Structure 1
């Protein structure tokens, strides 16, 4: 019965495969209702601990500088922190004035922590008032496909975020799996056989790179 006493934040933490929790929020691009946001697109929803902080500035700048790559992957960005809309706007302008980098995507003002709690971004043993560095990959059906969590003091890896996003899309499109360190243009893993007929077909297929009968790779055709 111990699980009945678990903290509310744990009960609310969404998991891979769940429908992304819906919410309405004020952002630097205006008010949004998430279930109606960016129809037919992927969404990368990410939180940062606070505006006007060093690591967060580098991360938000990284998302902004590589926004065209997310656009090319049919993906919208949404940032979040437990700050006011005025703090967000001031920070966006401060970074633009000092570095020329413009955060041209919505940043949620989550002062009441409603979205942070709904997405499990508050980790009490890390901080009860600042969201950890969470990243949610959400597909066009609004299903959560991948989740990353980082502590407050460690910045994320933008190459890995883009790699993981593209891997999810390639896997969906071609019904394949992706091996360790997979990058665009590299071979993918075909699903293992489920019957003897499929096994025999696999063994006879000379187009596959077969490590063994259960592990085979192939080139993707454009």
Structure 2
């Protein structure tokens, strides 16, 4: 499939029509982190649950200085009408307003450029639909994480919130987060940090797990 973004690539500074008017992507992000996530189609069941959950978690993303923006191959008019259903699904007033904009990509220009199309999912005219892509960008506009789901599998937005916590922590501290880590858990000291440097960087202490190899690479410290 043509197009696509790799980790470390700068987000294209595209212009697009959205439910809040026309935007230029870099201006929209400003100095914030950003999540651009695509869905296959408006007025479909799994997508409604996903965008509903994203709306519920919007305050948590905002606390982390993260701006969200969605995308599909539908028009702004469809996005606005569908937003009423999303809000109703959440048990809220069925208004056209969501806490994030949705991009109109009915010509599929942006989906092709970003590598978002799912060749196995097509509309009634045989045109490919967008897959369930998640791109997370840092304040430097560079791609920090990407996740790709097929149309049949809904995403876990609590997991997306979790990885934002990890990305933001590890961007500024010399640590890594282990399997199943969540905010507040112990983190791991990266292997490039010497024992002496680790003592200075992590005054709360470093615990090293003994291993049969004798190599002291499993080093934990309380979250900085």
**Correspondence 1:114 to 2:109:** yes
Per the alignment, residue 3 of structure 1 pairs with none
Per the alignment, residue 205 of structure 2 pairs with 207
How far apart, in 1, do the equivalents of 2:134 and 2:164 lie?
11
Q: CA deviation at 1:125?
A: 3.8
Per the alignment, residue 53 of structure 2 pairs with 62
TM-score scaled by structure 1? Answer: 0.87
How far apart, in 2, do the equivalents of 1:169 and 1:47 lie?
22
**Correspondence 1:75 to 2:78:** no
Give the one of 95, 99, 102 matched to 1:104: 99
**Correspondence 1:180 to 2:179:** yes
- SS of the residue corresponding to residue 124 of structure 1 reads strand
User: Structure 1, unaligned stretches of length 5 or more?
Assistant: 1-6
Per the alignment, residue 165 of structure 2 pairs with 166
Q: CA deviation at 1:176?
A: 1.1
Q: CA deviation at 1:38?
A: 2.3
Between Structure 1 and Structure 2, the one with more helix by share is: 1
Maintained 8 Å contact 1:20/1:138: yes
1:1-222 pair list within 5 angstroms:
7=1, 9=2, 12-97=3-88, 99-100=91-92, 103-127=98-122, 128-193=127-192, 198-199=194-195, 207-212=205-210, 213-221=216-224
User: Structure 2, unaligned stretches of length 5 or more?
Assistant: 211-215
Coordinate RMSD, CA, aligned = 2.2
Q: Name the CA shift for 1:193/1:145 in 2 (closer, same or farther; >3 Å).
A: closer
Maintained 8 Å contact 1:20/1:144: yes
Maintained 8 Å contact 2:187/2:221: yes
